[in-house]
Amino acid sequence: MEFLESKLRVPYYTPYLIRERLLILLEKNLDRSLICLTSEGGYGKTTLISSFIMENDIPAIWYQLSHLDSDPQTFLSYFKTAILRHISMDDNVYDAPIENVEKELSSVCTILSTWPKKLVIVLDNYQSINECEEIESMLTTLINHASPNVTFIITSRIRPNLKLVQLKLQNRLLELGTCQLSFTKEEIKQFFIQLHNINLQNDEIELIYNKTGGWAASLQLLQDLIKDVNTAERPLFWIKFRGTPDIYDYLASEILASQTEEIKTFLYKTCLFTELNADTINQYLNITNSEQILNHLLENHLFIYKNDFGAIKYHTIFRAFLHEKLSEYFLKSDIIDFHRHISHIYEKKREHFLAFTHSLAGMDYLLGAKLMTIMRRQYESSQFITLIDGLLEEISSEGFSAASIMLYLIRCMPLEISKDLIQPLQKKMDDTKKTNSLLLADLQHLLAGLYFYTGDIERSEQLCNDSLFHSIKNKDHELISINLSLRAMISLYKGQLDKAIQFSKQALSYPDKNGNFHPHHLATWILSEVFLEQNELVKGEHLLTETLKLSGQRYDCSIIYPYCSMGKYYCLKGDYKESLDWIKKAESIALEFNIEYDLGWIYYQLALTYIKLKDFNEAEISLSRSLLYLAHSDFLKCTVKALQIQVYQELGNSTLAAKLQNEIDLTMKEKNYYWLKHETQSVEEHKIIVKEKKGKDYKLYLHTLGNFEIKYEDKIISIKRKSSLQILQCFIANRNKKINKDSLIDQVFPEGTFESVKNQFYVSLSDLRKSIEPHLKTRRDSSFIKRNMEHYSFCLDYVYLDVDEFTQLVEQREDFTKSDRIKQLKRAETLYQGDFFEGYPYHEFLEEEREKLRLLFLSILQELADYYWENDDYKAGIEYYEKIIKKEPYNETIYVEYMDRLLRGNFPLQAKKVSEQYKNYIENELGIPVDEKIQSIFQKYTHSF
């Protein structure tokens, strides 16, 4: 026979990880007759055993099996050769003639039975010969007759078909399965950091562990890819990570290729399930043998497993791979239909959480709403955490948008359940902070939504900001967009219309390239609402038409708000019949979906139209209906009650109006709805004294605080070339300075050859001049960009720059009374619409100026807080301290000062809330203990905490 030397050679892999826990385990069990390592392909069985032999310098015989070795003569010839070579140390090949197989087997058994020293015999890839009964019988004989010094080690993808029970009863067997062979978190850390010098964060290690299940092959393929991904790009890489082309190629060639077409189809279509149940799959695929197939997959270790609760599941990365293959063979519409079919099966089986999950994946939102109504009646609030976890699992494997699905879930969840979920989700979020910052942003957004719909607007805004911060850091564009949309909604609620516009426009800057429905739809609708609030009906109607087009692409509850807003539009136009028709269309859909918050909003809008019609009885009925749905939504309930007061006053019921006013006052104080408390300022208060710029003949207007905007002679202009915009930003950040050309080039063009970037610089500079000065004839005539030899400067003689006015207002103190000074500061606060070039967080050359202006803004808030507190205007003082904390949540001094003032002013409940914020940010996030300080502050005023 043809003899392959490589089959008897111990494989050598370098570099390899020394897996100490497994090496120790193997060493402790060398007194066993047989050690079996059984798992799916790629779990490092061969590498582990070869490294064990080398690290411990153990005498060993290695036999790498293939299907050719299923011939008894071939098997015995290789085995005999390996044994005799080990004895004689020669390179001879010892054939075992077919007519003497029994005699040769007896001879080998005799040799092994008297083996005097420790010997390991490795049979690698045993699954290749597992079906051969003759070899099975031979091997059983060899193991049974071998000396106690001999240990057989078998590596296999399936459990060897040997008499293992007998060996186990005799304590001569050790079995290691997928669970033991999987890399632990610590081993993953060692693999990347120590073995391959790839410095990963703890949350990245956690994510790799959860995604790969410790599958060795994926780690090896992954490290080759991740080493080329820089640290800044890694969060986005992990968010999108559901496998790599190399991992998928391995699974396709090593696992899928050897399966029958029946098994392949089964794998593709069942990857939509989070749990594999034979009865459910039989109904779904219209077959009867699902149980046999699942048993076959389990026995052959084809990347499915039973969890601790006995549920059969796919390994995460294999499920993602199968979904990728499913998408190759079926249209998206087909996969949506599969999900809907599965949803109906689960609905009939009364497994409502799973039915709901698949209804969303199948975009059957009406069924989802129907199921939510059923679940509300049948399940405890705490059980809905299971639903959220199930949705997150579905999202992670199939690539659905977490933000969009969670947005729908939050909105259609009964408000009472939403309130009950806040505490357990807060705990889940706190736990996630320690393990997975990538999931943290989704959970923060989810909680922000729950707080918003239940009426804790301040907490919602804080969490939304936190989620936005992490989503920007992670470069998760869809989550950035949807957080900006939520911030726009919050700003609309708080009457901050400029901010609502700013955030909506920022949100809309992302979806166009990502095709994200929800953020685009929501932001467009908010913009329409803002314009209606400002009585700009043409703009509002245009945007509502756009929103209705977006809603028309799908049948879900997204159309409710634009229908309602069309009613508002016609009400403002005075067409009350058309207004009522639109709002009642919204009502019919909201009743169909049974969404409490939407119904509360609709009846509020309906009441506004009835008030215009002077039909106060119908208005009162609508408001009462609204309150029925808003029992667990404090802010909107407060808004509805405020309108109810007007109605009761019109109906002459001053007693009920007074009662409602007391309720509103209590709610506003408890929930800190400070923006509802502001009295209209007199015209006189808005008069600000500012030193005028010389000439005041502005040509160019630059707004850089918050949303960046450029106007030339009252016309908005845009700079399309990115590098031209960066040059302008660099000029603004270094205004009143001469900038060396080379320094300017380095900041804007950090990469490339000198000649190429120099040419790019001149082209970009020329484009900038033309953009900001459309009528410019030659560069020498430029009013703004000046050149002197190798230096450039930005001339501000004819430029209005908001940061200059802002700085001047803050720093200009001489000859002003205290009252005038406060007017100056309030004007400066109004100017500060956001951080310096807020939409460009990654330009290093802007960071110094951004931080300087941010600190200046904080000084304004502090000065205003001090002023109002000293003048016993506690409401305004609280407002400004809240603004400081929102802007600077990690400043310990502010919390201490704020709590001290609140307790001196007899606001213990507010002080308690601040202490919780203090603990959350300073202790929970920064790890600085604060309990003692908090106790000390409270004891000073109350003698108890």
Q: Which residue has the higher pLDDT, 217 or 754?
A: 217
Predicted confidence (pLDDT) at residue 783 exceeds the cutoff of 90: no
394 band by pLDDT with thresholds 50, 70 and 90: low
The reported pLDDT for the residue numbered 681 is 33
One-letter-per-residue 3-state SS of 714-760: CEEECCCCHHHHHHHHHHHHCCCCCEEHHHHHHHHCCCCCHHHHHHH
The reported pLDDT for the residue numbered 611 is 93
- Per DSSP (E only), the strands in 84-172 are 119-124, 150-156
Predicted confidence (pLDDT) at residue 927 exceeds the cutoff of 50: yes
Q: How is residue 146 annotated by DSSP?
A: S
Tens digit of each residue's pLDDT (9 = 90 or more) over 457-509: 989 998 988 888 888 877 777 788 888 889 999 999 888 888 899 888 888 87
Buried b (16+ CB within 10 A) or exposed e, 806-838: bbebbeeeeeeeeeebbbbbbbbbebbbbbbbb
| pLDDT over 90 percentage in the chain | 27
Q: Report how far residue 599's alpha carbon sits from residue 626's, in angstroms, rounded to the nearest whole number.
A: 7
The reported pLDDT for the residue numbered 680 is 25
> Which of 35, 341, 43 shows the shortest CA–CA distance to 179?
43
> Which of 361, 360, 462, 362 shows the shortest CA–CA distance to 411?
360
Mean pLDDT of 572-584: 93
Which residues make beta-bridge pairs with 124?
A: 64
Mean pLDDT of 21-25: 94
Q: Report how far residue 45's alpha carbon sits from residue 155's, in angstroms, rounded to the nearest whole number.
A: 6
Tens digit of each residue's pLDDT (9 = 90 or more) over 172-206: 999 999 889 999 999 999 999 888 888 888 878 88
- Is the backbone peptide bond immediately before 841 cis, with ω within 30 degrees of 0? no
Is 121 strand, coil or helix? strand
pTM of structure = 0.58
The answer to whether the CB of 596 falls within 8 A of the CB of 415 is yes
Tens digit of each residue's pLDDT (9 = 90 or more) over 596-651: 899 999 999 999 999 999 999 999 999 999 999 998 899 999 999 999 999 998 88
The reported pLDDT for the residue numbered 78 is 93
Q: Report how far residue 632's alpha carbon sits from residue 416's, in angstroms, rounded to the nearest whole number.
A: 6
Predicted confidence (pLDDT) at residue 402 exceeds the cutoff of 60: no
Tens digit of each residue's pLDDT (9 = 90 or more) over 122-169: 999 999 898 788 999 999 999 999 999 999 999 998 888 888 888 888
Q: Report how far residue 733's alpha carbon sits from residue 198's, in angstroms, rounded to the nearest whole number.
A: 36
Predicted confidence (pLDDT) at residue 684 exceeds the cutoff of 50: no
